[in-house]
Amino acid sequence: MSAPTDSHGIREREIEVPPLGLGGSLRVPESALGVVLFAHGSGSGRFSPRNVAVASRLNDSGYATLLLDLLTDAEAGDQRNVFDIRLLADRLLLAVRFLDADPDTTGLPLGLFGASTGAGAALVAAAELGSRVRAVVSRGGRADLAGEALDHVTNPTLLIVGGHDTVVIELNQQALAQLRGEKALMIVPGATHLFEEHGALGEVTRLAIDWFGAHLAHAHR
C-alpha cells in the first residue's frame, strides 16, 4: 500500500529502522531532488520543533526528509548516550541502509543535517560513507565531537552557528580547519544556540536549502 499524499503532493509515513525499530518520519515529495537525513542531538528526537520546521521547508523545496530517533526509549534515559558519537553515527549508518533499500528513496542523492551532538555523529558517518553523502549541514552543532574523523571528511560541509553562541563558534572554527573538502562556516548575526530569535531559524533554513541545492539537486540532474 502506498503512503498517503498530502495536499502538496508529499507522501508521509512513519517508519521503523531495523534491527532496533528506531522510529522515524519519512516525507517524500513528488520527483524528489534528494533525501536529507536528520541527526538530532542533546536528547531531542524526531519531534524536535526546530528540525521539523527545517524539514518542512526542505520538503517544500523538493527534498525528501527522514526525521529519526537515534536512541531507543531505554537508551534516551541515559544522558551519556547523547554524547556517544560512535553510537549515534552507527544509527545513522543503519538509517542510510534503510533509505538505500526503500523504494521511495533508493538512488536519491543523500544529505545529512546535524544539530548539537548529532552534527558530530553526522560528520563521522560522512567520513565513513564517503561520496555516498553529497553534503552535510550542521545547525549549532558540535562538529568538534567528530574528533579524528574530521581529517577524513571530504564531503561538502556547511557549519551554521549563532552569532551569540561564542563557545560553539570557536569549536566550529577548529573543526572547520580539519575538514578536507569544500567547506564553509556561516554565522547568523544575533542568534543564540537554539536560533529562537525572530528570523534566525529561517536564515538557517535558507542557508541549508542553498547548500543542498548546490550539492544534492546538482547530483540529481
Q: Mind listing the pLDDT tens digit for each residue in 47-82?
A: 888 889 999 999 999 999 999 999 998 898 888 998
pLDDT band per the 50, 70, 90 thresholds, residue 1: very low
Q: Helix, strand or coil for residue 173? A: helix
* pLDDT, position 160: 98
β-strand 22-29 against 63-68: which pairing, if any?
antiparallel
Mean pLDDT along residues 19-36:
96
What three-state secondary structure class fits 95? Answer: helix
- For residue 108 the three cell numbers come to 536519491
Eight-state DSSP code of residue 108? -
pTM: 0.94
Q: Going from the N-terminus, what domains does the chain have, and what CATH number goes with each?
A: 10-220 (3.40.50.1820)
Q: Is the pLDDT of residue 4 over 80?
A: no
Report helix, strand or coil for 15: strand
At 51, list the grid cell.
528540525
**For helices 200-212 and 49-60, angle between their N-to-C axes, nearest 10 degrees:** 50
Residue 100 binned pLDDT confidence (cut-offs 50, 70, 90): very high
